[in-house]
Amino acid sequence: MNDHSTKTKLIIGLGNPGKKHYNNRHNVGFMILDLLANELGFEFTRRQFKALVTDGSFNGSKLILAKPQTFMNHSGRSVGSLTRFYRIPYSDMLVAYDDLDLPPGTMQLRPAGGSAGHNGMRSIFDNLGTQAFPRLRIGIGRPPGRIDPADYVLQDFNSDDQILLEITLKRAVDCVRLYIQEGIQAAMTKFNSPPGL
């Protein structure tokens, strides 16, 4: 058993709480965690530090899944409290979220980086005082025409998006599972979109 399978991992999905936001583009982080929890037999049955939280074991690791319920722009309040309470090194947490700069159907796993204008990530940076933690960016593409990006991310995925969305979410969950099992380098090598996509 390698080093990666003996640590506690904290996996965070970003989104906005409430039924009206359930299928928004901004909520792909929640969607990934819901699918991952379902595959692992976990249930989000408790609230902790302004997040829906569940935990269990996977591949010999303790795994904590969290969906902050603070609304996107204040995600850092929840994430900061969770990391401090569980004493999670930043290298052992992963944040999954939507990204306007990546085309739909693509994703990028990175060990660190900036916010690219994402307010949820900005809030986490401000709370943790660092940008050095793994993140999984899920492409939702740029809004068509003159639609304001702030409005676009709060729109639901439409019926034409559903097949590609389901494929992307499944790939994202497989990426997270490999990250937990074998570490970030293995997951980046297998799942990051090819250059130019």
- pLDDT at res. 4: 46
List the chain domain ranges: 3-191
pLDDT, residue 114, reads 84
Catalytic residue (one of 4, 21, 26, 74)? 26
pLDDT (tens digit, 9 = 90+) per residue, 79-135?
A: 999 999 999 999 999 999 999 999 999 999 999 988 878 889 999 999 999 999 999
Tell me the per-residue pLDDT of 29-46, one tens digit each, with 9 for 90 and over.
999 999 999 999 999 999
DSSP class per residue in 126-142: HHHT---S-EEEEE--P
pLDDT cut 70: percent of the chain above it: 94
For 145-163, write each residue's pLDDT tens digit.
Answer: 889 999 999 999 988 889 9
Domain 3-191, CATH? 3.40.50.1470
Q: Which residue, chain included where needed, has tokens 């904590």?
A: 64
pLDDT for position 60? 85
Residue 26 appears among annotated catalytic residues: yes
Please, what is the average pLDDT of the chain?
91
pLDDT tier, 6 (very low <50, low <70, confident <90, very high otherwise) = low
Cα distances (Å, whole numbers) of residue 115 to 48, 84, 153, 177? 25, 21, 15, 24
pLDDT-based confidence at residue 1 (cuts at 50, 70, 90):
very low
